[in-house]
Structure 1
């Protein structure tokens, strides 16, 4: 039998569960239809709730989209920060470790397919999207993660592994040389490349990076 103390929590749990259902549905619909074509009615149908329920949680489509993009980006960002910690926390062979890191960096493309569906739509509709949503996406994920990677490259430079006067720029160059081509050619995971092709791109990118940022002489 439920105690009186537990009763007030049930409405809160119900609200939280409905919010999560709305967020999951919105991520699916926005990723499938894009921001412009997606409707609150379609999101409500996907979530199994009424449109009134959505408006009880979010003032409108723009706020819902911004919230979905921010939270989804933050979730992927946490996974990428974990990859930085696990793969670059201790370096023993720079080329091998950077290659393993870059390959691991690509795993969220498959693990967070709904998020990268959103990314495809963001890239396609950028001029028609609220600037606040674009900023929320960048701040919650890409910029935060790139800053962390830059910090780690700065530490590697301090340890003598590479010469990087601007570690943040080095981090951006590393991502462009190793993983951006894979992401773009696979349409952000929609059509995954063969493992051998991915490895070939990453290995070539790591070697190009190390030619640009070699270990200091002596």
Structure 2
């Protein structure tokens, strides 16, 4: 009877390994958000995931790499959301004012309230926690920069620096909207002024870049 070669994972073993990896990431994400990077131990992650400490190290190496893996997973989910909104709203040939307004509104109403964004903010706001390498992942900001580069190439906006243009747009619309959402969430449970904030921001941006 043939046996599996040493070091070669069978489908069943691979599935178990992937399940353990996912359980470790889920446990680590919960603890890194609730307890913080410094106070979260590998022992606590292993216990919550129902695996051995050795298994955590086998999959991720150390706590720093584990945190970066958690952050990368959340970043990828958030980037996928932003990419979908960009592809749907910032379409070629669409009226630019309408496109930018629709894009910012959807990010404010869909991405910001999502658990992925809340988790991302909580993970990245921890001063002592490691960061992702700048060129290692597909960051949401880079996706918008790439689309703004396309808008500049098409003559829709005038800029030699799409990255700065994207940052200006974000500051005038999304960051102000996020501030309003966070200020109002504790009192009214919403931010009815967000559409007006975004409309004003889009107008200011287009006056500067068109």
- TM-score, normalised to structure 2, is 0.81
Compared CA separation, residues 115 and 206, structure 1 to 2 (3 A): closer
Kindly state the Cα deviation for residue 59 of structure 1 after the two structures are TM-superposed: 2.0
Structure 2 counterpart of 1:198, from 181, 194, 199:
194
* C-alpha RMSD of matched pairs (Å): 2.9
- Within 5 Å, which residues of 2 pair with 1:1-218? 8-106=10-108, 107-111=110-114, 113-123=115-125, 125-126=126-127, 128-130=128-130, 134-136=131-133, 139-142=136-139, 145-187=140-182, 194-214=190-210
Q: 1:149 to 1:28 in 2, by over 3 A?
A: same
Contact 2:71/2:132, CA 8 A, preserved across alignment: no
Q: Tell me, which stretches of 5 or more residues in structure 1 are unaligned?
A: none
CA distance in structure 1 between the partners assigned to 2:191 and 2:23 by the alignment:
34
Structure 2 gap segments, 5+ residues each = none
Give CA-to-partner distance per residue, 1:115-139, whole Å, 9 cap, x none: 532422422x22x223xxx133774
C-alpha distance in 2, partners of 1:137/1:157? 24
Question: Deviation per CA, 1:28-52, whole angstroms, max 9, x where unpaired?
Answer: 2112222112222332333233333
Q: Structure 2 CA distance, aligned partners of 1:179 and 1:15?
A: 40
Q: CA deviation at 1:187?
A: 4.9
1:137-175 deviations in Å (ceiling 9; x for gaps): 774243xx3333223223223333222232221111111
* Of 59-68 and 192-201, the range deviating more from structure 2: 192-201
Moved more, 149-158 or 59-68: 149-158
For the residues of structure 2 that align with 1:163 and 1:114, how far apart are their CA atoms? 33
Cα shift at 1:183: 2.8
Rounded Cα–Cα distance in structure 2 between residues aligned with 1:155 and 1:193: 37
Larger proportion of helix: 1
